[in-house]
Structure 1
Amino acid sequence: MVSITHHGAVQGVTGSCHQMTLASGEALLVDCGMFQGAESVGRELGERQIDFPLDDIKALVVTHCHIDHVGRIPFLLAAGFDGPIYATEATARLLPLVIEDAIKVGVSRDKNLITKVLQRLQQLLRPIPYDAWFSVEGLPQTRGRFRVAGHIMGSAYVEFDAQGERVLFSGDLGAPYAPLLPAPKPPYKADVVVIESTYGDKLHEGRRTRRKLLKSIIERCLKDRGTVLIPAFSIGRTQELLYEIEEIIHRAARKNQKNDLSRKGSPWETIDVIVDSPLAAKFTQHYRDLRHLWDAEARKKLASGRHPLSFEQLITIESHGDHLKLVQHLKSSGRPSIVIAASGMCAGGRIMNYLKALLPDSRTEVLFVGYQAQGTPGRDIQTYGPRGGYVFLDNERIDIRAGVFTISGYSAHADQANLVNFIKRIYRKPKEIRVVHGDDEAKEALVKKLQSVVPDAHVWIPNG
């Protein structure tokens, strides 16, 4: 039998890294993610990032390229790992961009160092198509397969056949009916499942409800002549938001035409939609290039001549100088705008300058569309903003007079019902389910639900 140990995402929701070891001792890793927020305390130094032996680890399998699943890869390489890195074809294309940005933000801006890491990464990468079994180098009689996870472009859950067992690692599962990407389909069978639980205790709003909520929040800001700030991860969330905003604009235009109103009369058709993140802009281009992976609805829009990720009102800010000018312009002018900027948890990046400038302005609305980890500024704004509180950003106290809203349905994560249904629809049910990648309350709630769905399985929460 195989054994599984966890090197992250068991005390919280970040740092995903799981080790599957054969009886003979050879092992592989599934993901090698960065710890974030409160979970990163004490791990700032490079040597603390990889605190487990690598001697028997022959390969790394990557489920998707969010930083909490891949951010420790540079440290893994620095520690001597030289095995193959398996990823879907789309993830293999996006991963170098994520790693380059992670090094620049958290390690060094030394171009020679970055180039060496990226060259080594490219040498080790093994792009694999969805649904194709591949042999894992260094692990005898072990094969893997990537299946669509619907979380972000290229995301996958991964199945392994090893020593007579089918072992499944969920990575991060996406929600059905999310924009752009097809929903995950459960496998026929699994013996052991390691499943995420980010929203294991929550239910998302339906897509129609969340789109109406998104529209109403933005219209409120238009009325107040303020700015809607949306902290969003550069990959996945940004592209889904653009897709939904284009849909709202399209419907507003169609309604005006039907009522024979002047196109200039619609605030939706004049509002600026600003993506202030060079990395997000690069990912958005890759999303467009990878449109063969879009779902049927999105491809239908393309066929009709619409451009969900490249529409007339979309503005991309590239240079840091233009970014600073825009922050000051919005602060002084109050021009109604939608600004999407990283980081998604307000723990760095260009969103910080917007928050410092605009949080004290009551015309501003801050809209959270993704999970905010404990110990991050995003969680503090989400918690204390509605009470008229304050937040510390770069050691500076910022009073919060802006409106603060959360739409959980735009999270790229499956909710409790989606996670339970994923397990429920596995025809040959697992005998063991390990619940990871969630706060304690989320994990405990999901365990309770899963125990009722698969009463014969051992459903539990590992701690290492």
Structure 2
Amino acid sequence: MEIEFLGGAREVGRSAVLVDDALLLDYGLLTGDPPQYPIRDPEPDAVVVSHGHLDHVGAVPALLKGSRRPTIHWTPPTAELARTLARDTLKLHGNSPLCPFSAEHVARLGEVEERHGYGEPFVVAAGGREYAVTLFDAGHIPGSAHVLVDSGDTRLLYTGDFHTDDQRLVSGTTARPDADVVVCESTYADVRHEDRRAVEERWAERVRTTIWEGGTVVAPAFAIGRTQEMMLVAANADLQPYVDGMGVGVTEMLRQYPTFLRDPEAFRRATSGARFVTGRDGQRERIADDNELIVTTSGMLAGGPVHSYLPVIRGNPTNAVTLTGYQVEGTPGRELQDRGRMEINRRVRPVSATVESYDFSAHADRDGLESFLDDYADARVVIVHGDRCESFAADLKKTGFDASAPELGDRIDV
């Protein structure tokens, strides 16, 4: 088996792993200005997608150009999320060269997709060979999967993104299928998460205190996974948030797939208790002035309804912005986190509102990665999807693992 790394090697974003020049695992993009896509345009016979985040699925419609029709395999939530993200990409970049696909390519997804549940092996024909593929719950977001590819000679486990601890939205992964080779993400390889319940309690106390003092809390959150997690955390703390942005539609979609949720009844209660924003007739400005909790996209403040709320609340120290996820270097969220300022309406402005960061990550931390890999001490381990892939691989080698961190474009035989 030969593996080529078209993206996600020694970087976070544009994940794309090509097996035997025929079977593609993920095909994402790296957000930025401009966005970056995998380093070359492959022509696979089949694609398996680990989960519905932009950096893993964002470029998949581009694989359906011209006469190309590779079969695309994914879970039902991932299929729905892929379409949501593709439509949003078209809205942002559809009339520019920055977008490598059109609405027609998105529509073609329905012609080629096959949906699968967890633990249900299926056969994928690619490059004149047949592979037995099985998806396992990865504990990252609803529908996220570890991908096990068995060629008959080699068993390759592609972890995708995963978490070993429970979140309120999904349970942590417990799957440890036998594998000869593990391609493992390493996003938080240099971090140890704070206890999740302690983070929740600290965040809820900040929200209660701010509202009691007469302020408004804006909680920027990624639309897929984080928005729904924050709704569940809020509901558990008897808080009733407003929810705005793409996360509203994603929430409604996930209600159709209760088997992919940790606690469907808790999710139902959380969605019933939340108030969804329509954005009509100055609604956002009124809410921002009304001492409320607002969970809204985008998670890194790069766009979306959050830019309707921040100009209203930024000048009052009684208000608060609670960042709920990692802020990538160069994003408005990172600028706010590090320097207390951000670009609003094309001008860089100071933000006097309290700004705090909370670790609600959906990725395994260093301890989680090591506990996962403990089951693969005899396998070959390939580290990807991280800012410090080389150092993590080196640390694993010191403890006896056969570990490496390939560069973009590398091909390895396993």
Query: Scaled by the length of structure 2, what TM-score is found?
Result: 0.90
Identify which of 261, 271, 296 aligns with 1:310: 271
Post-superposition CA distance 1:391-432 (Å, at most 9, x none)? 224531121212111111x11111111111111134x6312x
User: Which structure 2 residues correspond to residues 16-95 of structure 1 after superposition, within 5 A?
Assistant: 16-21=15-20, 26-37=21-32, 40-41=33-34, 43=36, 49=37, 51-55=39-43, 57-78=44-65, 81-95=68-82
Shift of 1:224: 2.9
CA distance in 2, matches of 1:452, 1:460: 14
1:120 aligns with 2:69: no
**Please, which of 243, 249, 258 is the counterpart of residue 275 of structure 1?**
243
For residue 212 of structure 1, what is the amino acid of its counterpart?
Answer: E
1:54 CA drift (Å): 2.6
1:151 CA drift (Å): 0.7
Q: Residues 62-461 of structure 1: matches in 2 within 5 Å? A: 62-78=49-65, 81-108=68-95, 115-139=103-127, 140-162=129-151, 164-249=153-238, 268=239, 272-277=240-245, 279-295=246-262, 298-299=263-264, 301=265, 307-312=268-273, 314-319=274-279, 321-322=280-281, 325-331=282-288, 333=289, 335-385=290-340, 390-393=341-344, 395-408=346-359, 410-426=360-376, 429-431=378-380, 433-440=381-388, 443-453=389-399, 455-461=400-406
Q: What per-residue deviation string (whole Å, max 9, x for no partner) do you get for residues 11-42 of structure 1?
A: 42111111112xxxx422111112113xx547
SS at structure 1 position matched to 2:242: strand
Q: Kindly tell me: are residues 247 and 165 of structure 1, through their superposed partners in 2, closer, same or farther at Cα, counting changes over 3 Å?
A: same
SS at match of 2:70: coil
Q: Residues 161-212 of structure 1, C-alpha deviation per residue, up to 9 Å, x if partnerless?
A: 1251111111110241211212112423222111111111111121221111
Q: Which has the larger radius of gyration?
A: 1
The whole-number CA distance in structure 1 between the counterparts of 2:215 and 2:121 is 52
User: Cα–Cα, structure 1 residues 227 and 451, in superposed 2: closer, same or farther, change >3 Å?
Assistant: farther
Q: Is the 8 A contact 1:31 1:63 kept in 2?
A: yes
CA deviation vs aligned residue, 1:36-83 (integer Å, no higher than 9, x gap) = 13xx5474xxxxx4652434x211111011111111123333376420
- SS of alignment partner, residue 229 of structure 2: helix
Contact 1:368 1:405 (C-alpha < 8 Å) held by counterparts: yes
Residue deviations 1:252-302 (CA, integer Å, cap 9, x gap):
xxxxxxxxxxxxxxxx5xxx511111x31221122222122222xx25x55
Specify whether residues 80 and 403 from structure 1 end up closer, same or farther in structure 2 by C-alpha distance, changes over 3 A only.
farther
SS at match of 1:214: helix
The alpha carbon displacement at 1:341 in A equals: 1.2
Kept in 1, the 8 Å contact 2:62–2:105? The answer is no
Amino-acid identity (%): 28
SS at match of 2:156: strand
Q: CA deviation at 1:244?
A: 1.1
Do the aligned residues in 2 keep the contact of 1:346 with 1:376 (CA within 8 Å)? yes
How far 1:222 moved relative to its partner? 1.3
In structure 1, the residue corresponding to 2:125 is in which secondary structure?
coil
Distance 1:225 1:329 in 2: 14
Amino acid corresponding to residue 400 of structure 1 in structure 2: V
The 1:95–1:53 alpha-carbon spacing in structure 2 relative to 1, beyond 3 Å, is: closer
Shift of 1:155: 0.5
Counterpart of 2:412 in structure 1 is: none
Amino acid of the residue matched to residue 451 of structure 1? K
Larger deviation, residues 179-188 vs 167-176? 179-188
Distance 1:79 1:184, change over 3 A: farther
CA distance in 1, matches of 2:70, 2:223: 28
User: How many angstroms does 1:142 deviate by?
Assistant: 1.5
Deviates more, 1:196-205 or 1:99-108: 99-108
Normalising by structure 1, report the TM-score: 0.81
Higher alpha-carbon deviation: 113-122 or 10-19: 113-122
Change (3 A) 1:358 1:152: same
**Alpha carbon RMSD of aligned pairs, Å?**
2.4
1:367 is displaced (CA, Å) by 1.2
